[in-house]
Amino acid sequence: MTDRPDFSLIETMRAEPGAGVMRGNLHRNRFFNSTRKLGFADPAMAWTAALEAARTVEAPTRLRLEFWADGRYDIQSAAFQPLAEGTVWTLAIATNTRLASNGPLLRHKTSHRAIYDAARAEISREDADEVLLLNEKGEVCEGAITNLFVEGDDGVLWTPPLSSGCLAGVLRTALICGKKARVRPLQPSDLTGKTVLVGNSLRGLIAARLKL
């Protein structure tokens, strides 16, 4: 018998009344792609259950689908409160925790969160809303819970490529497909004097500033 992976896959989604899962096709594509590449069971039943949960929401809702290799799944929902208009997050860069750009699971959203938790623990939440991680080459990869975007002179957003070692975030994919973002390796210095944003599919884009 083939050993099953010892971790789960996670999709954290925003559901809206009458609309269901926001960016649902991209969430589905990532989820199904990860199950296929990582040797998980057929995810169709779990995904159908998530869509059904999304159809019944009466207010903006955070849906969390967790799926195990043997086909078990769990769906949790909670009220979602969008950030206040004009919110600006403070960012800090982890100094003791780095990602390996060739890490086999970095492109997938899994329960293997130890390295992100370690980065987050380096800096108190009073000092920073989000913590960015670098890879072994000193490139900026992503935040502990967000992808990173830097506005270029032409107004198009730059975001690190997957080869730097980051999650294929659903919001990131939507922006790239919509030609609103492009990929290129980013150094910490590329964040200086630029419009910086972070984001994920749940919260959308969030204005940010790097703590110096």
Average pLDDT over residues 126-143: 97
Q: At what angle do helices 170-177 and 24-38 cross, to 10 degrees?
A: 120
Question: Taking the CB of residue 99, how many other CB atoms lie within 10 A of it?
Answer: 21
Q: What is the reported pLDDT for 107?
A: 93
CATH of 88-210, one of 1.10.760.10, 1.10.3720.10, 3.30.960.10, 3.20.10.10: 3.20.10.10
What would the pLDDT profile of 7-31 be if each residue is shown by its tens digit?
999 999 999 999 999 999 999 999 9
What would the pLDDT profile of 80-96 be if each residue is shown by its tens digit?
999 999 999 999 999 99
Check if the beta carbon of residue 81 is closer than 8 Å to that of residue 48: no
**Domain coordinates in residue numbering, the chain:** 9-79, 88-210
What would the pLDDT profile of 149-197 be if each residue is shown by its tens digit?
999 988 899 999 999 999 999 999 999 999 999 999 999 999 999 999 9
Question: Is the pLDDT at 70 greater than 50, yes or no?
Answer: yes
Q: Give Cα 10 to chain centroid, integer Å.
A: 10
Query: What confidence category does residue 4 fall into, taking pLDDT thresholds of 50, 70 and 90?
Result: confident
Query: What confidence category does residue 212 fall into, taking pLDDT thresholds of 50, 70 and 90?
Result: confident
Query: What confidence category does residue 50 fall into, taking pLDDT thresholds of 50, 70 and 90?
Result: very high
Distance CA 159, CA 40 (A): 29
CATH topology of domain 9-79: D-amino Acid Aminotransferase; Chain A, domain 1 (3.30.470)
Q: What is the reported pLDDT for 51?
A: 97
- % of the chain with per-residue pLDDT over 90: 94
CA distances from 77 to 61, 63, 111, 139, 209 (A): 7, 5, 18, 35, 31
CA distances from 74 to 39, 66, 71, 173 (A): 19, 5, 10, 25
Q: What is the reported pLDDT for 149?
A: 98
